[in-house]
Amino acid sequence: MHNEREQAGKVALVLGGSRGIGAAIVSRLAADGAKVAFTYSASPDRAEALVARLAQDQNEAIALQADSGNAAEVKAAVDQTFQRFGRLDILVVNAGILRRATIDQFALEDFDRMVAVNIRGVFAALHYAAPQLSKGGRIITIGSNVAVRAGFPGTSVYAMSKAAVAGLVKGTAIDLAPRAITVNNIQPGPTTTDMTKEVAEFVLPLIPLGRMGETREVAGLVSYLAREEAGFITGASLTIDGGYSV
């Protein structure tokens, strides 16, 4: 049986951690015993509420304002985490945005913003965090199952951005393998969050298990990949979507 506080003494940074899947990941890693820093871009109230909620359970967390579309702010978040806690063991890159339109209607500014956050922001996180990560550390990106199956119109650019992350993870896993740092990508399918309320009715018939995913299920997979027992998994993209992309 695994140790519920297996991450005691470890430090995690979650980019995009104030709500939805990100908040569930922050809560789970804190429950596993890690000290957690997390970023938010536009919801300071939610971020501070999460810090306070974790403090009630004697879990230490700090919230850092950072726009993942701005590489300097990503670097600052990595540096502030290291300065505050003195180490970095787990990096989770969850920040991402979704804008939908068919290819002929997709605005170039929206394309540039999605690339800045969903691809360049992930690269910046890996680039700046890698030198700080402990030997045997963990990097986990949150992609999407649209990298496997786009599914419906309007997803071309989002699918491209998430496929790019899956490719980036493969190469990074090789780069960091000499330091026993594993690098993996989780690809959630439709998951119940604020972002997906409007599409729930539309996607439910496409999911063989007949329900949306829960944020805690994605967080559970993050928790597993961050553990010592997952040390032989690297460069993988693990899809968690109720069979949607089967």
Q: Tell me whether residue 246 is in a domain.
A: no
From first to last of its 246 residues, the chain has per-residue pLDDT tens of 456 789 999 999 999 999 999 999 999 999 999 999 999 999 899 999 999 999 999 999 999 999 999 999 999 999 999 999 999 999 999 999 999 999 999 999 999 999 999 999 999 999 999 999 999 999 999 999 999 999 889 999 999 999 999 999 999 999 999 999 999 999 999 999 877 777 788 889 999 999 999 999 999 999 999 999 999 999 999 999 999 999
Q: How many CB atoms lie within 10 A of CB 20?
A: 19
How many domains are contained in the chain? Answer: 1
In this prediction, residue 49 carries a pLDDT of: 98
Q: Is 235 left (phi over 0), alpha (psi -120 to 50) or beta?
A: left
Q: What CATH number does the domain containing 39 carry?
A: 3.40.50.720
Domain span holding position 136: 11-240
Q: Tell me whether residue 4 is in a domain.
A: no
Q: Tell me whether residue 148 is in a domain.
A: yes
- DSSP of the chain: ---TTTTTT-EEEEES-SSHHHHHHHHHHHHTT-EEEEEESS-HHHHHHHHHHHHHTT--EEEEE--TT-HHHHHHHHHHHHHHHS-EEEEEE---------TTT--HHHHHHHHIIIIIHHHHHHHHHTTTEEEEEEEEEE--GGGT---STT-HHHHHHHHHHHHHHHHHHHHHGGGT-EEEEEEE-SB-SGGGGGGHHHHGGG-TTSS-B-HHHHHHHHHHHHSGGGTT--S-EEEESTTTT-
What are the residue numbers of the active site?
A: 158
Strand partners, 186: 142, 238
In this prediction, residue 166 carries a pLDDT of: 98
Q: Tell me whether residue 212 is in a domain.
A: yes
Give the Cα separation of 160 and 101 in Å (integer).
13
- Please count the residues of the chain: 246
Pairing type for strands 11-15 and 88-93 reads parallel
Give the Cα separation of 246 and 239 in Å (integer).
10
Q: Tell me whether residue 78 is in a domain.
A: yes
Whether 10 and 33 have beta carbons less than 8 Å apart is answered as yes
Give pTM, 2 decimals. Answer: 0.96
In this prediction, residue 3 carries a pLDDT of: 61
Q: Which residues contact 125 (CB under 8 A, 6 or more apart)?
A: 15, 68, 74, 78, 91, 93
The single residue listed with the structure tokens 């600052």 is 76
Q: Tell me whether residue 188 is in a domain.
A: yes
Residue 228's identity, in one-letter code, is E
Q: Tell me whether residue 2 is in a domain.
A: no
Whether 146 and 152 have beta carbons less than 8 Å apart is answered as no
In this prediction, residue 154 carries a pLDDT of: 95
Q: Tell me whether residue 168 is in a domain.
A: yes
Helices 71-85 and 121-129 sit at what angle, rounded to 10 degrees?
30
In this prediction, residue 193 carries a pLDDT of: 86
The single residue listed with the structure tokens 């540096």 is 79
In this prediction, residue 63 carries a pLDDT of: 98
